[in-house]
């Protein structure tokens, strides 16, 4: 999912607690590896904070927005929006913006919409896969019908097809990170249908695959940061028809 409950990191070989998210202070990860905190302490005091993580395990504020009531007016149009980069919701160290409360809430909703899904890594698998083995946060696989802009020009995407797809299904694959030894797989045989030594970040592929009904027939593989091969089956949700990846051995 996208909601982060707690963040830890390693400093000098030891585990260090960084932050936690909860009901009124949501914590999520953005594609640029920024942590996004979005919450409120009352119906007039809202915050929106962008932070990155330093090598010493401390967070550094990159940008912060927060609201304060205008003359005690709790209505949405009675809120002022302030901004700073010191990470404190203190008017004295902040600059009042020209934003309306609606602008503030729309910006927060847009950021949340851009936040990335995170892979759940069971602790028992940590030694085998390592924390550098996380991959789902930068992979995306979706059906053509899921594109927000139905008029997008797919001719600009690289077209990759499996041989003689039966009841074919078209999906789009992309990554926000360079992938080494990328392959499109035929899962039953393990054969590579398509391969690329380096699939560049944001390089988009249209994959013309076998039908996605019942048992998955196609998948992808690549080398992660730790040099391990990662393999994912391409599946379709039986609930809403959305396309997703599931890691396989």
* 102 and 81 Cβ atoms separated by less than 8 Å: no
pLDDT given at position 108: 93
Domain of residue 24 covers 6-114
Task: Flag whether 86 is in a domain.
Answer: yes
Residue 17 φ/ψ region, left for φ over 0, alpha for ψ in the -120 to 50 degree band, beta for the rest: beta
Are 64 and 128 contained in the same domain?
Answer: no
What integer pLDDT is reported at residue 183 of this predicted model? Answer: 95
Residue partners of 150: CB distance under 8 A and separation at least 6: none
- Assess contact for 118 and 2: CB atoms under 8 A: yes
pTM > 0.75: yes or no: no
Q: What is the pLDDT of residue 130?
A: 54
Angle of CA points 235, 237, 238, to nearest 5°: 125
Whole-number pLDDT of residue 77: 62
Task: Among 68, 83, 114, give the residue marking a domain's end.
Answer: 114
Indicate whether 187 and 130 sit together in one domain.
Answer: yes
3 state DSSP class of 156: helix
CB of 7 closer than 8 Å to CB of 20: yes
Q: Is 164 left (phi over 0), alpha (psi -120 to 50) or beta?
A: left
CATH code for the domain in which residue 139 is found: 2.60.40
Round to the nearest angstrom and report the end-to-end CA distance of the chain: 21
Q: Are residues 45 and 11 located together in one domain of the fold?
A: yes
Alpha carbon 224 to its chain's center: 17
Asked if 133 contacts 224 with a C-beta cutoff of 8 angstroms, the reply is: yes
Asked if 212 and 246 touch (Cβ cutoff 8 Å), the reply is no
Instruction: Give the end of a domain, one of 114, 134, 162.
Output: 114
Number of domains in the chain: 2
DSSP 102: H
Bridge-based pairing of strands 6-11 and 205-209 is unpaired
In a domain, residue 1? The reply is no
Helix (H) or strand (E) holding 50: strand 46-53
Q: Cβ distance 35 to 60 under 8 Å?
A: no
Same domain, residue pair 243 and 198: yes
Residue 207 near residue 233, CB atoms below 8 Å: no
Same-domain pairing of 76 and 137: no
Dist CA 143 CA 235 (whole Å): 10
Per-position pLDDT tens, the chain of length 249: 788 988 888 888 888 999 998 878 899 998 888 899 999 888 889 999 999 999 899 999 999 999 999 876 555 568 999 999 999 999 999 999 999 999 999 999 999 988 888 877 666 666 555 555 567 777 888 887 666 555 667 777 888 888 876 667 888 898 988 999 999 998 888 899 999 999 998 788 999 887 777 778 889 999 987 788 889 988 887 767 778 888 887
Q: Report the alpha-carbon angle 247-248-249, nearest 5.
A: 135
């Amino acid at each position: 999912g996208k909601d982060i409950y707690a963040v830890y990191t390693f400093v000098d070989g030891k585990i260090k607690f960084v932050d936690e998210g909860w009901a009124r202070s949501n914590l999520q990860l953005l594609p640029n590896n920024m942590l996004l905190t979005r919450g409120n302490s009352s119906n007039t005091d809202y915050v929106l904070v962008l932070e990155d993580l330093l090598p010493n395990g401390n967070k550094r504020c990159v940008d912060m927005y927060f609201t304060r009531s205008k003359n005690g007016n709790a209505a949405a149009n009675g809120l002022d929006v302030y901004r700073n980069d010191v990470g404190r919701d203190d008017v004295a160290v902040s600059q009042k913006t020209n934003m309306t409360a609606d602008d503030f809430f729309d910006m927060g909703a847009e950021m949340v919409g851009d936040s990335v899904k995170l892979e759940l890594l069971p602790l028992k698998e940590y030694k085998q896969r390592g924390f550098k083995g996380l991959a789902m946060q930068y992979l995306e696989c979706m059906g053509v019908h899921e594109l927000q802009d139905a008029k997008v020009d797919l001719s600009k995407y690289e077209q990759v097809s499996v041989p003689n797809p039966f009841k074919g299904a078209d999906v789009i694959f992309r990554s926000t990170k360079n992938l080494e030894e990328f392959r499109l797989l035929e899962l039953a045989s393990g054969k590579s249908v398509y391969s690329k030594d380096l699939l560049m970040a944001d390089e988009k592929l249209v994959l013309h695959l076998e039908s996605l009904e019942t048992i998955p027939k196609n998948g992808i593989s690549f080398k992660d940061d730790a040099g391990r091969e990662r393999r994912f089956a391409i599946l379709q949700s039986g609930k809403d028809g959305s396309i997703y990846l599931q890691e396989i051995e």
